[in-house]
Amino acid sequence: MLAWGEVESDGAGQALQGLVYVFIFVAALGVAAAAYFGLTFTPIEAAVTAIAFGCLAVLLVERQMRRRAEARLEKAVEDLSRLLSTDAQAGSVLSQRVNALNDLKLPARLASIESDLAVLGTVVKQVTETVAELEEQRRLANEDKDKPAAQADADPDIMPEPVIPLELLRQAVTDNRLVFHIEPIVTLPQRRPFGYDLVPRLVMEDGGFADRPDFMPRIGGEEIVARIEADAVDEAIIVARRARTSGSPITLFVPLSRATLGSAKAVEMILTALDANRAIVPSLLFVIEQAEYKALNGKEKASLGAIGKMGVGLSLSAATSLRFDYAELQGLGFRTVRVDATRFLRQPEMFTDFHASDIAAYGRRFSIELVATGIIDEQQLLNLFEDGVTLAQGPHIAGPGPVRPDLQLERPAGLARAGE
């Protein structure tokens, strides 16, 4: 911008100088005319007078312009000297600062700082490892008292006896106080619903719910267990059919046991219901505990095979060992196998001879997914995902909840309100 201003100033000066010369020329002509006409000079004398006047005027103008140019030059020299002086001072200050930085011995100090940071990083790592160990010890120490009911399902030997006697259970079922809630199984890491367990619960007099371990008989009561499982099949068909009609199909896991498989009448009712609802059959999976599956006799295993041939899937729950014939399970229609997450992560060698990170991938070769149940904290989800387990369920994810009113089976008004 400064250079452009100087160019404009020079151009204006040259234009003004041209105008001055023009004025001098006009003035010289005027002098010649005055001398010729007013003073009766000869033409030659008038011309000489005009030339002399013009030369004198040009000389005066040039002298004045030279003085101005010299003044500008002197000012420019003074400004340049002042700038050079300022630059010299700045250079001196910069040199002093560079010398001061050199005196600080920065390389040695940086090396010392890097050494301190390395030591600090080691300390932080040790503290992190120690905290992790303490957290693990605390979790293991509180495992027994914090373990949820779903986790207790994985080991029948340590489950307490039902707190609700068999006779009270029969009366509750007769009074239509049995409801079915759903508990999600989600995919990892997205945590999107993969399917839902159909969970039987009893509505208590105070409006609360009794869970399966509180009322399901362990010894005897086969007829009431078969009735509960038959009601579960009816509920699952209704929910799956209405969900499919609404445009949001879901997968439901329905409980199944030897009490049903050992009853020809109960098996026939299931087969009839499945045959009448073939459109939603692929949305149903029957869940049987591993202990029950191992104890099946020939008749019961044939009944399980007949149910599987209808197109439904099967799920093996409460697995205490994964050392079984995967090809056999695949042939029967099993799609998932469930293990307790805490025990699987704590002692994987009790379940399999494979490495923990290989067993899920091995099951997928036979189209069987490993499901971790009883999830109690976020760390378990991270560890399971690292081991290749992509399906999980448990109280840390979501507990059992009521089915949407528009999907569930019609019940008496009081019972329906209790389930909400």
Q: Which tens digit of pLDDT belongs to each residue from 214-271?
A: 999 988 899 999 999 999 999 999 999 999 999 999 999 999 999 999 999 999 999 9
Cβ-Cβ contacts under 8 Å for 181 (sequence gap 6 or more): 198, 199, 201, 209, 400, 401, 402, 403, 419
Q: Of 202-211, 351-360, 386-395, give the range with the top mean pLDDT.
A: 386-395
Domain range annotation of the chain? 2-104, 106-141, 149-419
CA distances (Å), origin 310, targets 50, 307, 319 = 131, 5, 25
Does this model's pTM top 0.75? Answer: no
What percent of the chain has a predicted confidence (pLDDT) above 70?
Answer: 81
- To the nearest whole number, what is the mean pLDDT of the chain? 84
311-338: per-residue pLDDT in tens? 999 999 999 999 999 999 999 999 999 9
Q: What is the pLDDT of residue 412?
A: 45
- Mean pLDDT in residue range 119-132: 65
CA angle (59 as vertex; 34, 49 as ends), nearest 5: 25
> Is 46's pLDDT higher than 60?
yes
- Mean pLDDT in residue range 87-106: 73
Rounded to a whole number of angstroms, the distance between the first and last alpha carbons of the chain is: 80
CB atoms within 10 A of CB 240: 24
Q: Which CATH class is domain 149-419?
A: alpha beta
- Mean pLDDT in residue range 287-302: 96
Banded model confidence at residue 416, pLDDT cuts 50, 70, 90: very low
Q: What is the pLDDT of residue 92?
A: 77
